[in-house]
Structure 1
Amino acid sequence: MLNKLSDTIYYLSNQDDRERPTLGLVCGDRYSLIIDSGNSPQHAQDFLLEIENLNVSPVKYVVITHAHWDHFLGMNEFDATVIVNSQTNESIKEWKNLSYDDSSLQKYVNTNQMSAMCMKIIQTDMPNRDCFKLKSPDVIFKNKLTIDLGNKICILERIKSTHTDDSTIIYIPDEKVIFLGDCAYGTTTNSLFHYKQSLLLPMIKDIQKYDAEMFLLGHESICDLNEINIYWEELTTASQVVKSTSLENAIEFFKAENKRDPNDNELFFIKAFVNDLIIQSQ
């Protein structure tokens, strides 16, 4: 069921048990725009069925926030202009050449080209997958793009991110709403979960330059300004105490600087920033 954020903005909540991220819908007087196409054709079709129940302008655009499979594998289901940044386009090209039969999928899992969860979702939610071919995006932008849906402006910008190198955010100025995709999350390298420490502050700066009050995230759905500021504060406080690959030293430094023990979130972030330094040292 779609959640109504305002008269012109809706979202389909994330379902982490099915690897389904938040999907967004922004409606103007002439056209509507979708944010992310879902993790499979079935996810996309479920979203489209929900949209059919609304009295909104026809969907003309689909924006992909980044090239992780759970955000774009439903792309073929939309009769709309698919928009990506140039780096996302390069990554999606690799998926266009894949085959989706069982033996090919297992080979991709065995060679770490694809996760086991991705294979399971494809096998469950992709009809006719033996002949499935991912289509190409239609519009490629480099850094920034503004779209007018009819009395409804959407600003697309590729920003620095601790999650991927190709993150696009979507800002709707008159609503003070911003769709972040997964850009504010960490990532996993060599089996270590980490936040890219060098990109943390540039990413926050890129996001905070927009006057937003509501933030849509890929796997938390939605949070307000106070909640996102707490998140930024916990991340930056954790980052500031990590100077080496020693978790023990970082925790002791945190205690000395803040006169308290780190909370659960801060401890999680400290470990992730330590992992980042470990990865850089390898």
Structure 2
Amino acid sequence: MDLKRLTDRVFYTMFSKESDRPVLGYINGQTRSLMVDAGNSKYHVALFNKAVRKEGLRIPEIVAITHWHWDHTFGMHAAEGVTIAHEKTNAKLAELAEWEWTDIEMKKRLAAGIEIEFADTCIRNEYPSLSEIRVVASDISFDGTMEIDLGGITAQLHHVTSPHSDDSVCILVPQERVLFVGDAVGVDYYKDCYLDKDKLRSLLTAIEGFDFDTCVVGHAEPVSKQKIVAVMNSLLER
């Protein structure tokens, strides 16, 4: 895994399809640094930290979460920094923390429609030993918006309406004109890939209102503001 430079102070790592590892972000402030999303396991976090050290950067003191899905949160327990998530994210993580992560129980949840096949398959790819799964809530929670001063640069956390997940958070770095959106521009996999166009319109309005040039998405290469807006309009026309 390599840390790719997006701007002077913003970096990202590539996604991986085999076990659905998402893009992770790194925002480098003068006094503190921030990691966007916590990855899907302690192994994912370890690779991220190795890439950070390779670039001569410090391990992030803060980790901000974009939404509750396992691939963005199951590395939280292994992150060295203070974790921050929306209240709705923590509510869902508290629920998952009560689950038993065994072959039998995972099959039961799959059969009951509580879990989806894609997530089940990817979790098993990431965790040959299911006993290593550990789900935790964040150290700090917020509602609405939150601004974090990293020293000469800020990270603005905005809870947004999204068709993908009700707890979706966008992270704007105004000084670098970069917006992290996680998987906010996407269907709801837990509702048979349903696309709520009203929620998508609300998200489009929010994204158009942010002042940025580059959008970092959860499972693809970064795109321009014009491109992400075009993608959303295309989805609305579908």
Structure 1 position 124, deviation (Å): 4.1
- Note closer, same or farther for the CA distance 1:45–1:108 as it changes in structure 2 (3 Å cut): farther
Amino acid paired to 1:73: F
Query: Residues of 1 paired with 2:70 and 2:48: CA distance?
Result: 17
Structure 1 position 132, deviation (Å): 4.4
TM-score, normalised by the number of residues in structure 2: 0.91
| 1:181-223 residue CA offsets vs partner (Å, 9 max, x unmatched) | 01111224553x3321212222111112111100001122310
> Partner of 2:231 in structure 1?
231
Counterpart secondary structure, 1:221: coil
Query: Residues of 1 paired with 2:59 and 2:41: CA distance?
Result: 22
Pairing of 1:44-63 with structure 2 (within 5 A): 44-63=45-64
What 5-or-longer segments of structure 1 have no aligned partner? Answer: 239-269, 271-282
Aligned length, in residue pairs = 237
Counterpart secondary structure, 2:8: coil
Greater mean alpha carbon deviation, residues 32-41 or residues 101-110:
101-110
Query: Residues of 2 paired with 1:18 and 1:132: CA distance?
Result: 14
> Partner of 1:133 in structure 2?
134
Query: Residues of 2 paired with 1:227 and 1:179: CA distance?
Result: 14
Counterpart secondary structure, 1:228: helix
> Partner of 1:253 in structure 2?
none
- Note closer, same or farther for the CA distance 1:86–1:18 as it changes in structure 2 (3 Å cut): same
> Partner of 2:80 in structure 1?
79
> Partner of 1:3 in structure 2?
4
Structure 1 position 156, deviation (Å): 0.2
Structure 1 position 100, deviation (Å): 1.9
The question of whether the paired residues in 1 share the 8 Å contact of 2:19 and 2:126 is answered with no
> Partner of 2:206 in structure 1?
206
What 5-or-longer segments of structure 2 have no aligned partner? Answer: none
> Partner of 2:158 in structure 1?
157
Query: Residues of 2 paired with 1:164 and 1:38: CA distance?
Result: 17
The question of whether the paired residues in 2 share the 8 Å contact of 1:76 and 1:135 is answered with yes
- Note closer, same or farther for the CA distance 1:7–1:124 as it changes in structure 2 (3 Å cut): same
Counterpart secondary structure, 1:22: coil
Query: Residues of 1 paired with 2:128 and 2:28: CA distance?
Result: 29
Query: Residues of 2 paired with 1:162 and 1:132: CA distance?
Result: 27
Query: Residues of 1 paired with 2:170 and 2:227: CA distance?
Result: 18
Query: Residues of 2 paired with 1:127 and 1:136: CA distance?
Result: 23
> Which has the higher relative contact order, 1 or 2, with Cα contacts under 8 A spaced 6 or more apart?
2
- Note closer, same or farther for the CA distance 1:14–1:127 as it changes in structure 2 (3 Å cut): same
| 1:113-169 residue CA offsets vs partner (Å, 9 max, x unmatched) | 323443344444347642643222111100000001111100001011121111000
Pairing of 1:229-268 with structure 2 (within 5 A): 229-236=229-236, 238=237
Structure 1 position 51, deviation (Å): 1.3
Counterpart secondary structure, 1:233: helix
Query: Residues of 1 paired with 2:4 and 2:47: CA distance?
Result: 14
Counterpart secondary structure, 2:83: strand
Query: Residues of 2 paired with 1:57 and 1:28: CA distance?
Result: 10
Query: Residues of 2 paired with 1:185 and 1:8: CA distance?
Result: 27
CA radius of gyration, larger in: 1
Structure 1 position 101, deviation (Å): 2.6
* Root mean square deviation of aligned Cα: 1.9
| 1:10-42 residue CA offsets vs partner (Å, 9 max, x unmatched) | 111112233111111111011111111112222
> Partner of 1:43 in structure 2?
44
Which protein is richer in helix relative to its size?
1
Amino acid paired to 2:27: V
The question of whether the paired residues in 1 share the 8 Å contact of 2:45 and 2:75 is answered with yes
Q: Is residue 2:147 matched to residue 1:178?
A: no
